[in-house]
Amino acid sequence: MVSVHELAHLITGLAAQLLEIPVAGQVLALLIGVAGMFANARAFATQMARHTGDSNPHRQAMTLYMWLFGMGVPMGLSLLYLAVSPADVPPGSRIAIVAAGTAVLVFAPMAHIFARAVQDVELEPLRLPRVPFLALVVLVLLVLGNIALSLGVRVG
């Protein structure tokens, strides 16, 4: 049986093959992507320290939980869309589509790697505005519209 990790590599390799990207270009893209992910995590470590100080529970709330919700929602929506879609998607492709959601916001928990490197950042507790109710309503309408289209509702 192929693991999700192996499947992601197969799909990435297939995409590179279809785009006729040479192996050297694929390796370069991999290195740039990994370096960018670590650079983003390092940059986010400063923001983490600014808004949480040394409080590990606050750091977890800002990084780990954000990542868990940030990947859970796209994965859940992908499962929902796959369930209502009339398209015949092979099981391996379904797994890859859902697993793609795990990459969202992964830099946030990675910021803990760089927590000790951040020095002399003034504590500025995070203050968030109220929940954007109208934006949530629009998001729900977009999701319902996507489901309706998947179920064959015609527009126009």
Residue 89 CA, distance from chain mean position: 22
pLDDT on residue 41? 94
What's the DSSP call for residue 87? Answer: S
Q: What is the structure's pLDDT at 8?
A: 55
CA 94 to chain centre: 17
Count CB neighbours of 44 within 10 A.
20
Top mean pLDDT of 38-42, 67-71, 82-86, 122-126 is at: 38-42
- Residue-level pLDDT at 7: 54
Mean pLDDT over 43-50 rounds to: 94
Q: What is the pLDDT of residues 96-131, one digit of tens each?
A: 888 877 777 888 999 999 988 888 889 998 888 888
Structure confidence at residue 156 (pLDDT): 74
Is residue 44 a contact partner of residue 121, using CB atoms and an 8 Å limit? no
Domain segments of the chain as ranges: 4-128
Position 154 scores a pLDDT of: 84
3-state secondary structure of 4: helix
Contacting residues for 84 by C-beta, under 8 A, at least 6 apart: 147, 150, 151
Does pTM top 0.95 for this prediction?
A: no
pLDDT by residue (tens digit) across 3-27?
555 555 566 677 777 788 888 888 8
